């Protein structure tokens, strides 16, 4: 997607003022995700834009356990900026699992791109539907991650109880290695496409992404309105000859509310002014 899609206007504008305000000697941490996901490389591209376009700005893109951990880091003031899934952000604001209390010390400054939910199996696997994962060993994402939450949402709509699946709490890269070694039967990735971990596996093994038909997608989006229908276009991965229907959340940038409006304005303006550069730096720009 070649444009950033949205922004939180309240954060960006002071009445009648649109001139940029630059930070001086500002050191910030941008919490991203694991190295096999989209957040870390995309966050690095964002950080480079801020560091080169805003005098005195020094943003470090930090690897993390992704969305849920990132929100906690913002809340503890151990990071000032973060990339997170929109559904995890909703859970934090409303004290839903994996959060036990509401976290509201943050604001959204931009909606970036769709994060596609992809459940991967071997091409010759008997698993044709999410329901077929019953009794299987599945990499469900890091504990408490947005990816794990997405898998629980799929299980809920497909009528699977938590104990019906042998859940393995693995990062994307850990799931990829376990899948290669046949230690797991399937794994889920919620990320921009193409995903590095899935691409890596596809170079060595024939794989298939489970299709979510329209009736089940409608149930998912009806019960979980932060989800939207999506597809993985044919050719995204090696030997993928057809589109795969699925659902998606959005990747968003959040900022701790302790940052000044002036700093947040200058950072957001730099991103919007540098969309072409961001697009060339990463496929999700």
DSSP string, 243-256: -EEEEEEEEEEEEE
User: Can you give the pLDDT at residue 253?
Assistant: 96
Q: What is the pLDDT of residue 14?
A: 35
pTM: 0.77
- CA nearest to 36, candidates 138, 176, 210, 203: 176
Name, in order, each residue with C-beta under 8 angstroms of 158's C-beta and a sequence gap of 6 or more.
129, 130, 131, 216
CA distances in angstroms from 231 to 115, 117, 246, listed in the order given: 11, 9, 5
Tokens of 168: 């393995």
Can you list the domains of the chain with their CATH numbers?
A: 6-113+252-281 (3.40.190.10), 115-249 (3.40.190.10)
What's the pLDDT score for residue 187? 97
The one-digit pLDDT tens for each residue of the chain (285 residues) are: 444 444 443 334 333 333 444 445 789 999 999 887 788 999 999 999 999 999 999 999 999 988 999 999 999 999 999 999 999 999 999 999 889 999 999 999 998 889 999 999 999 999 999 999 999 999 999 887 889 999 999 999 999 999 999 999 998 889 999 999 999 999 999 988 998 889 999 998 999 999 999 999 999 999 999 999 999 999 999 999 999 999 999 999 999 999 999 999 999 999 999 988 877 765 544
Tell me: the pLDDT tens digits for 42-54?
999 999 999 999 9
- pLDDT tens-digit series, residues 82-130: 999 999 999 999 999 889 999 999 999 998 889 999 999 999 999 999 9
């Amino acid at each position: 997607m070649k444009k950033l899609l949205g922004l939180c206007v309240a954060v960006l504008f002071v009445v009648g003022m649109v001139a940029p305000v630059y930070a001086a000697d500002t050191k910030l941490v941008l919490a991203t995700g694991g190295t096999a996901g989209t957040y870390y490389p995309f966050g690095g591209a964002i950080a480079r834009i801020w560091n080169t376009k805003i005098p005195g700005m020094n943003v470090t893109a930090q690897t993390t356990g992704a969305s849920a951990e990132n929100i906690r880091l913002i809340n503890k003031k151990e990071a000032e900026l973060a990339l997170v899934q929109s559904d995890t952000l909703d859970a934090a604001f409303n004290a839903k699992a994996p959060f036990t209390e509401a976290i509201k010390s943050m604001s959204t400054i931009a909606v970036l791109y769709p994060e596609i939910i992809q459940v991967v199996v071997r091409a010759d696997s008997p698993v044709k539907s999410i329901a077929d994962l019953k009794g299987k060993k599945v990499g469900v994402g890091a504990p408490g991650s947005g990816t794990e939450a997405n898998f629980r949402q799929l299980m809920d709509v497909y009528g699977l109880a938590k104990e019906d699946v042998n859940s393995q709490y693995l990062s994307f890269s850990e799931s990829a290695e376990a899948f290669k070694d046949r230690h797991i039967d399937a794994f889920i990735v919620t990320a921009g496409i193409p995903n590095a971990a899935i691409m890596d596996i596809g170079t060595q093994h024939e794989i298939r992404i489970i299709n979510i038909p329209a009736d089940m997608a409608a149930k998912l989006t009806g019960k979980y309105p932060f989800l939207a229908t999506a597809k993985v276009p044919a050719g995204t991965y090696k030997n993928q000859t057809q589109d795969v229907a699925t659902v998606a959340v959005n990747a968003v940038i959040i900022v701790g509310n302790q940052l000044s409006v002036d700093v947040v304005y200058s950072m957001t303006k730099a991103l919007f002014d540098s969309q072409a550069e961001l697009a060339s730096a990463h496929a999700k720009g």
